[in-house]
Amino acid sequence: MITDKMSWEREPSKYSIKDGMVEITTMPHTDLWQRTYYHFRNDNAPVLQMETDDKYFSFTVKTDFSGSHHRFDQCGIVMYLDTDNWLKASVEYENETFAHLGSVVTNHGYSDWATTVIPADVRTMWYRLSRREDDYCIECSGDGVIYEQMRVCHMWEGAGRIRFGIYACSPEDSSFDAVFTDMKLTECAWKAHDGQQPDED
C-alpha cells in the first residue's frame, strides 16, 4: 500500500490513515508560498510524501474537499523538496460562487500561481503528477479517467532523488477535513514529445 511508504514533513496534529485513505484536518494559518508578489514566506503546511529515484513515473490521487468553506482552504498533490523548491496543485475555495483550480511552482525561493476559475460546487478532483527526468507535468480530472493538462514545468532541483505526495492547509483562520483516496503509482503516462526534435548541443 502506497501509504506505507509515505512519511510526514510537518505532521499535523489531527489525521487518520486507514485502508489507503488519508484524512487530514487542517490547522488555521498553514500554507506553502514563497516571496513572489505578496513578499511573505509561508512554509508550514503538512505534507505526506514518499521518495523515489525513478526518473519516469506518474502518481495519481483523488481529493475530496467537501468540507472546505473558507477563503484559500485547499488540498491536493505536492512535490516538496525543501523550503525553496516545490510544486503543488489544488482547488482553493474562494466563496459560495467559485473556486480556483490552480498550481504553484517554486524554484529557488520564488513561487508562481497559475489558476482557472471553476464552480464552487466542484467538491472532488483527481490529480496526476508525471515525471520525465527533471521536467514535470501536472494534470487534473473530474472523473479519474480523462485528464487535462494544467502545466508543464522544470524543477531546477528536481533531477535526483525526489519526494512527492499530498498536502492540505488553511491559510486563513479556518479548518476542514481533507480526504485523499485512490493513490496510485504507475509507469509514466506523460509520453515523450513527438514533435520538434531537441536542439543539438
Q: pLDDT tens for residues 122-152? A: 999 999 999 999 999 999 999 999 999 999 9
What's the total number of domains in the chain? 1
Cell of 70: 473558507
Cell of 199: 536542439
In a domain, 169, yes or no: yes
- The Cα 142–Cα 125 span in angstroms is 5
In a domain, 174, yes or no: yes
In a domain, 158, yes or no: yes
Provide the domain limits for residue 140: 2-186
Angle at the Cα of 186 (from 181 to 189), degrees rounded to 5? Answer: 110
Does 17 score more than 90 pLDDT?
yes
In a domain, 162, yes or no: yes
In a domain, 51, yes or no: yes
Tens of pLDDT along 142-201?
Answer: 999 999 999 999 999 999 999 999 999 999 999 999 999 999 999 999 998 887 787 876
- The Cα 48–Cα 71 span in angstroms is 23
In a domain, 200, yes or no: no
Q: Write the CATH number for 6.
A: 2.60.120.200
In a domain, 16, yes or no: yes
Angle at the Cα of 148 (from 59 to 8), degrees rounded to 5? Answer: 30
